[in-house]
Every structure is written in structure tokens, then in C-alpha cells.
Amino acid sequence: MTTSEIITIGDELLIGQVLNTNVAWIAQQLSALGINIIRDVTVGDDENEILRTLKECYSECDVVVVTGGLGPTKDDITKGCACKLFNCGLTFNEEAFQNVVNRFKNLGYEITESNRMQAMVPDKCIPLQNHNGTAPGMLFKENVDGKTKIMVFLPGVPLEMKGLIEDYVLDILKDTYQNNGLYYRTVLTQGKGESFIAEIIKDWEASLPENVKLAYLPQYGSVRLRLTAYGSDLEKNKAIVNKELEKLVRLIPEWIYGYDDDTIEHAVGVLLKKDNLTIATAESCTGGNIAHHLTLVPGSSDYFKGSIVAYSEKIKNDVLGVRKETISKYGVVSKETAEEMSQCARKLMNTDVAIATTGYAGPGGGDETSQVGTVWISVAGRNFVISEVFHFGTNREINIKRTTYNALKMVYNCLRDKKLQ
């Protein structure tokens, strides 16, 4: 089996100044090719540490993907480390330089010497032209002890890194490593916790073939179940996983909302489009995050009408139409207010269904009846309205994510159960 490691470089990653999203995306691409990721490692902008890590990873596996440190400034030292690792010098690449010239010309910028240096690449590498930036990628491919090894260096900017992998790297890896048998599928569930699902499927899990592994991946009220088959025969592993997947689906059909890269917002969109229904949101504590997730789905304009972020009580009254006496009597964070918000939003935007949220996202807020983390979610249709209260913690960001997910889950359940018909 082909093995790989991922190296990300940059002080900004180590100190948490920049979120390292590159690792997850690269790992997904490699796994889809059946390449087994052994580990990922992040190092700072230190030449000795970078070189030590490059040597170590290259000696351990077949494929090493490196991102970061290819820019034009003094702290971008990855290129020099690559030359030391492969015992080579730099050579001027005319195509890379013209790419820089054209990009700067379009932006109206002057070319500097540091920009010209970006067109210098190691003389032993295969240059990968960057269509989204100025730093070319660098791919080294050689035979070591009868095995083909590849190390590829890419910019740390996600857009540039992804472009180079999609334009060049994936095809090279496919052509080089054709017998990878790793195969996996992921089942997405909602409504029940990890331990409950584990109990329901324990007999099936115990009977899985030796080369098949099940992983539980819980997150914000959902549980992903990933089935992975190991071995060199890809087609055989596909057949095994898909057969076991069918068995799993029969055990927990009511809790499955999608597979693999599906999202709850995509699942909601599929059901809305299927039944030709429309949706709107009225959001207080989520601040428009539910609308944001709904509109992440391509084609969401077919069913999403709009959103009112009714953060203040005045907007709830004057724009959304919630009665002042409702809030005065029951409070802004209450079942009654949430339900009236969802009903008003549905009527105001003339949709088949509407979601509303109101709560104390934290870390402050709360009152004598509702503590921090209390959230009411309501879903209203033309002939019904439902609501549910949740008690989260004090972490604002997590509470917004949990509220968003649970709101979409409530809508999904209504659509699945045909409550809107």
C-alpha cells in the first residue's frame, strides 16, 4: 500500500494565528486515491527543523506533500531546504517568470528582484505552474531502492495549493501508484448519540471482515460512521464495503441523512427541491448562520427565499412582526417568542417552511429563567409549528454551530416525515 505524510510549514500555524485547513483537504484527496496517510506534522520557519522533518518523512513513506514557505520574503526558506535535501541548485524557469510578469501586469504592480526569485526552482524538480499565484510548485520524483518516491512542495495559500494539486499532482499520483486498494465510505447520521448507535449495530460491527475497520466520528449532534477496507485489490474492497454498507443502512435507516461528503444543509435542500418547497429563516442568536449554511449549497436559490437577522427586540417587533406583548409576557428567549418568529418569517416571505432561533449564545447573558446556552428553535409550516429547547454550554462559537445544526436537523426531520405535505 502506498503511504504518505503531510508537512505544513509556518510559524503562523504553530501559534494558532492561521487555522491549518490544508491538512484536512490534502488528506481527503490522498485518501480518495487509496493512499494511506501515516501522519501529518507542522513545523515553524526554522531551517534546521524543516530539513530534519523533510529527511525523516521522505525516508518513512512513498509520498510527501509539503505546503508553505515558498513566498518571496526572507522567512520563506522551504525552497532552499528542498535544494539541500535533493543536493541540487536553483535554475531560472522562464514559464514561471512570465506567470509572475503577467499577474503583476494585470494588477498594475512593478516586478521586484524578490518576485523574480520566485521563478528560480530546484534543477532536479518538475516545476508546477501556479495559475492562482506567483510561487510555482516543485515536484521531485525518484527511484529509491526499487520504489518510486514523490515529494511535492506547494504554496501554503489554500487556493494556490488546491489549484496545483487539482491541476497536476493528482494525475501524477494516479499514474504512478495504480494499485492502491484502500477504500472507504461514510454514513452520516443524526438524532442519536454515538453510544446508542454502537449498541444497535454491535452484532454487525463484530462480524465485519478482518480487513474492514469502523470508525465513529461524532460532531455537534451528528455521528459519522466511516467504513474502511484495507488491501491491495481496490475493486474487491469496494464490493466488501458496499455490501457491509447495505447491512448498516438496514439497521439504522431512520437516522441516516446522507453519505460521504453530504452535509445536513445539502440533505435539507434535496428534500425541499424534491417536493418543490421553499424556506426562510428568522435568526437571533445565530446571526444569519443558518441562512449562510443553506446558501452554501449550489442551486439553493431554487428554494431559499431569504432571512431576517432579528437580533434586537425592536427588529423582532418592527420588522419581523413579533408582538410586543409576547416578548413582554414570556421573554425574548422562550418557546412562544421562537414560535411567533418562525410563523412571522414564513408569512412575511411567503414560504412553505421557516426556521427561527432565539437564545443566549454566551458567554454572557441569561436571566433568572434561562441560563447562558439556552436556545429555542422553532420550525413553522403552513399547517403546523414545532419548537424545541436546547441547553448548551458557554462557548459562543460552539453554541452557534450547535444551534445551526440542530435547526437544520429539525427541518430535515419535518421534510423526511412529510409534515409539510
Say if 421 falls within a structural domain.
Answer: no
Q: Which of the listed residues 149, 176, 203 is the one where a domain comes to its end?
A: 176
Query: 223 and 125, same structural domain?
Result: no
8: domain CATH number? 3.40.980.10
What grid cell was written down for 376?
Answer: 429555542
Query: 201 and 325, same structural domain?
Result: no
Q: Which of the listed residues 240, 259, 278 is the one where a domain comes to its end?
A: 259
Q: Sign of the C-alpha dihedral, residues 102, 103, 105, 109?
A: negative
Q: How far apart are CA 275 and CA 39, in angstroms?
A: 45
pLDDT digits (tens, 9 = 90+) for 117-166: 888 999 999 999 999 988 999 999 999 988 999 999 999 999 999 999 99
272: domain CATH number? 3.90.950.20
Nearest to 138 by CA among 224, 66, 52, 242: 66
Q: Taking the model in full, what pTM does it have?
A: 0.74
Q: How far apart are CA 192 and CA 364, in angstroms?
A: 30
Query: 126 and 250, same structural domain?
Result: no
Say if 106 falls within a structural domain.
Answer: yes
Q: How far apart are CA 346 and CA 117, in angstroms?
A: 58
Describe the chain by its helix, strand, coil percentages, rounded to 5: 45, 25, 30
Region of 80 please: left (phi>0), alpha (psi -120 to 50) or beta. alpha
Instruction: Report angle CA 280, 387, 357 to the nearest 5 degrees.
Output: 50
| All residues at 6 or more sequence positions from 394 whose CB lies less than 8 Å from its CB, including other chains | 362, 363, 372, 373
Structure confidence at residue 106 (pLDDT): 79
Nearest to 355 by CA among 292, 296, 302: 292
Q: Which of the listed residues 259, 287, 317 is the one where a domain comes to its end?
A: 259
Query: 47 and 138, same structural domain?
Result: yes
What grid cell was written down for 305?
Answer: 427565499
Q: How far apart are CA 387 and CA 375, in angstroms?
A: 10
pLDDT digits (tens, 9 = 90+) for 334-383: 999 999 999 999 999 999 999 999 999 988 887 777 899 999 999 999 99
Query: 108 and 232, same structural domain?
Result: no
Q: How far apart are CA 6 and CA 300, in angstroms?
A: 35
Residue labelled with grid coordinates 526558506: 77
Nearest to 36 by CA among 186, 179, 140: 179
| Mean pLDDT across the chain | 93
Q: Using pLDDT thresholds of 50, 70 and 90, give the confidence band for residue 421.
A: low
Structure confidence at residue 180 (pLDDT): 72
Structure confidence at residue 179 (pLDDT): 65
Nearest to 306 by CA among 358, 357, 351, 359: 351
Say if 52 falls within a structural domain.
Answer: yes
Domain count, the chain: 3
DSSP annotation string for 82-139 = HHHHTT--EEE-HHHHHHHHHHHHHHTPPP-HHHHHTTEEETTSEEE--SSSSSPEEE
DSSP state, 304?
A: E
Burial of 402 from C-beta contacts in 10 A (0-12 / 13-18 / 19+): buried
Q: How far apart are CA 118 and CA 349, in angstroms?
A: 53
Say if 214 falls within a structural domain.
Answer: yes
211: domain CATH number? 3.30.70.2860
Structure confidence at residue 146 (pLDDT): 87
Largest CA distance in the chain: 80
pLDDT: is 278 or 177 the higher one?
278
Question: Please, what is the angle between helix 78-85 and helix 47-60, to 10°?
Answer: 50
Q: How far apart are CA 152 and CA 125, in angstroms?
A: 9
Question: In whole angstroms, what separates CA 160 from the centre of its chain?
Answer: 17
Query: 201 and 329, same structural domain?
Result: no
Say if 158 falls within a structural domain.
Answer: yes
C-alpha torsion angle, residues 46, 51, 53, 58 (rounded to 10):
160
Query: 271 and 255, same structural domain?
Result: no
Can you tell me the mean pLDDT for 172-194?
88
pLDDT digits (tens, 9 = 90+) for 200-235: 999 999 999 999 999 999 887 789 999 999 888 889
Q: Using pLDDT thresholds of 50, 70 and 90, give the confidence band for residue 23.
A: very high
Structure confidence at residue 365 (pLDDT): 81
Instruction: Report angle CA 397, 401, 403 to the nearest 5 degrees.
Output: 115
Structure confidence at residue 367 (pLDDT): 75
Say if 304 falls within a structural domain.
Answer: yes
Instruction: Flag the least confident range among 25-39, 172-186, 206-220.
Output: 172-186
Can you tell me the mean pLDDT for 190-196?
89
pLDDT digits (tens, 9 = 90+) for 243-271: 999 999 999 998 999 999 899 999 999 99
Query: 190 and 276, same structural domain?
Result: no
Query: 407 and 305, same structural domain?
Result: yes
Structure confidence at residue 327 (pLDDT): 96
Q: What's the domain range around 43? A: 3-176
pLDDT over 70, % of the chain: 100
Query: 77 and 201, same structural domain?
Result: no
Query: 8 and 130, same structural domain?
Result: yes
Say if 76 falls within a structural domain.
Answer: yes
Structure confidence at residue 11 (pLDDT): 94
pLDDT digits (tens, 9 = 90+) for 79-118: 999 999 999 999 999 999 898 888 887 777 877 777 788 8
Q: Does the pLDDT value for residue 26 go beyond 90?
A: yes
Say if 286 falls within a structural domain.
Answer: yes
Structure confidence at residue 338 (pLDDT): 98
pLDDT digits (tens, 9 = 90+) for 283-330: 999 999 999 999 999 999 999 999 999 999 999 999 999 999 999 999
Query: 275 and 356, same structural domain?
Result: yes
Q: How far apart are CA 118 and CA 138, in angstroms?
A: 12
Q: Sign of the C-alpha dihedral, residues 96, 102, 106, 111?
A: positive
Structure confidence at residue 109 (pLDDT): 80
